[in-house]
């Protein structure tokens, strides 16, 4: 029932999906509204009926992907926290599984980070999202260390920042040269050394 509202939100969702794809392929500025609509199977009429402008779409898309990401994390967390495996496996697993498509996610998030470095409003939104993301990861680290009687000599959040930074840089290298830098190789060779050093 209530087909109208559902229809509306469905087209909105398809437009967002199309925007995600086209933005990943050509970047925010490189993609035209027309491109996005075409990808989603609509015309610009549908677009401007759902979004006020392209800028508004960018923000909405960021919010939507952010929400999905955090939701996905929320779903993964319990399993990772309790189940077997090491602390590192849990954290890296979360980073890898949080987004369905690593390449697309990397392109989009990098694009949005660039955008944020040039735009105060976007920066605010991004900072907040990253904070929530870190919070989840930090919580995971705390739970696992507590459960296994581990003590870290550095604040968990700083360790999380390290893992995120390394993961981002490594992913960039991997996407550029998949053959030369196997996925996760840097993380898996060096992070155990860190953990060994900071845990007691």
Partner DNA sequence: TGTATTGGATACACAAACGTATTGAACGGG
Partner DNA sequence: CCCGTTCAATACGTTTGTGTATCCAATACA
Burial class (CB within 10 angstroms; exposed 0-12, middle 13-18, buried 19+) of 41: exposed
Q: Which among a copy of itself, DNA, none contacts residue 120 (Cβ within 5 to 8 A by kind)?
A: none
- Judged by beta carbon, residue 48 or residue 190, the one nearer DNA is 48
SS3 content of the chain, % helix, strand, coil (to 5): 80, 0, 20
- Per-residue binding string, a copy of itself, 92-131, x by CB under 8 A, is -----------x--xx--xx-xx-xxx----x--xx--x-
DSSP class of residue 183 equals: T
Q: Which two tokens stand for residue 145?
A: 């260390």
Report which of 71, 51, 38, 59 is spatially closest to residue 8, judged by C-alpha positions.
Answer: 51
- Per-residue binding string, DNA, 12-41, x by CB under 7 A, is --------------------xxx--x----
Report which of 47, 62, 64 is spatially closest to residue 12, judged by C-alpha positions.
Answer: 47
Count of residues that bind a copy of itself according to CB under 8 A: 45
Binding residues for a copy of itself (CB under 8 A) = 25-30, 103, 106-107, 110-111, 113-114, 116-118, 123, 126-127, 130, 154, 158, 161-162, 164-170, 172-173, 175-177, 181, 186, 189-190, 193-194, 196-198
């Amino acid at each position: 029932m209530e087909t109208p509202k559902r229809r509306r939100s469905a087209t909105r969702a398809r437009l967002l999906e199309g925007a995600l794809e086209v933005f990943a392929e050509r970047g925010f500025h490189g993609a035209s509204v027309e491109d996005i609509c075409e990808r989603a199977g609509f015309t610009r009429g549908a677009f401007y009926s759902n979004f006020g402008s392209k800028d508004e779409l960018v923000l909405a898309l960021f919010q939507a992907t952010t929400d999905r990401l955090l939701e996905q994390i929320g779903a993964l967390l319990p399993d990772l926290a309790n189940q077997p495996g090491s602390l590192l496996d849990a954290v890296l697993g979360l980073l890898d599984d949080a987004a369905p498509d690593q390449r697309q996610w990397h392109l989009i998030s990098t694009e949005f980070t660039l955008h944020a470095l040039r735009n105060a409003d976007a920066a605010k939104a991004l900072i907040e999202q990253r904070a929530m993301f870190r919070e989840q990861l930090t919580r995971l680290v705390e739970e696992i260390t507590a459960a296994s009687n581990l003590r870290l000599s550095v604040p968990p959040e700083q360790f999380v920042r390290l893992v995120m930074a390394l993961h981002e840089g490594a992913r960039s290298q991997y996407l550029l040269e998949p053959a030369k830098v196997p996925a996760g190789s840097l993380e898996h060779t060096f992070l155990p050394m860190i953990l060994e050093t900071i845990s007691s």
